[in-house]
Amino acid sequence: MINKAINSEKHQFRYYSREVLKRPTELMLHEQRLRLARKFPQNEPLQGALADLFYGCWYDMPLQGEAILATVADRLPLPTRNHFRDCIEKNSYVQRISEVATRWSVLVTPSLNVASHSLRVSSDDARQIAADFGDRLIKAKASNDKQQLTQIEDDFLGHCLACVDRIGFSLVWFRLARNGWVFDERWVACQRQLEQMPAREASV
């Protein structure tokens, strides 16, 4: 039931992403999309949806932005929160190409001069995400649902590379290894890529 709910939320998130593309200035659509993104263990969809909202509904942000930001602030690094707060205070605006955009954004594009799509995660975030993905992977393995298992693995490995989440990767790797997991080439490739990536400062 949990996995069905997750898949349903992803389907709904994609639906609202398409609707946001059609009607980028409709705040209600952005808020529905943001609500769904809040349920995902990764923070990247949340930040991507928020960037689209602040871009498409920039004129509403001085009045409504603070309340919207408050609902997701606990999931965002301090520099990212401050960037959105600057928009609320009309000191700056989210641009078409923005450092707060992520690969989940549909209206705005990540800036090429910074790894904005590589969302920084704190050690607490990493542990929470690792626990969630670990649970989902073990349940999918137990149910012998190979398609679902592959999808969850791909989602997790994609998160680790996008966020340079070495902590989360290690926690899940060791947990699965204790359960007799057979790691295929995707896992090995992800491990190698993470080892080669430069270290990033931890989020506040």
Per-residue model confidence as pLDDT tens for the chain (204 residues): 444 454 678 889 989 999 998 999 999 999 999 999 998 888 888 999 999 999 999 999 999 999 999 999 888 888 889 999 999 999 989 988 888 888 788 898 876 444 444 445 556 667 877 888 899 899 989 998 888 888 888 878 877 876 778 888 999 999 999 999 999 999 999 999 888 876 544 333
Question: Per DSSP, which regions of the chain are E strands?
Answer: 97-98, 109-110
Structure-block tokens of residue 78: 């301090």
User: What percent of the chain is predicted at pLDDT more than 70?
Assistant: 85
Distance CA 2, CA 80 (A): 30
On the 0-12 / 13-18 / 19+ scale of CB atoms within 10 A, 8 is: exposed
Helix (H) or strand (E) holding 98: strand 97-98
Q: What is the pLDDT of residues 20-31, one digit of tens each?
A: 989 999 999 999
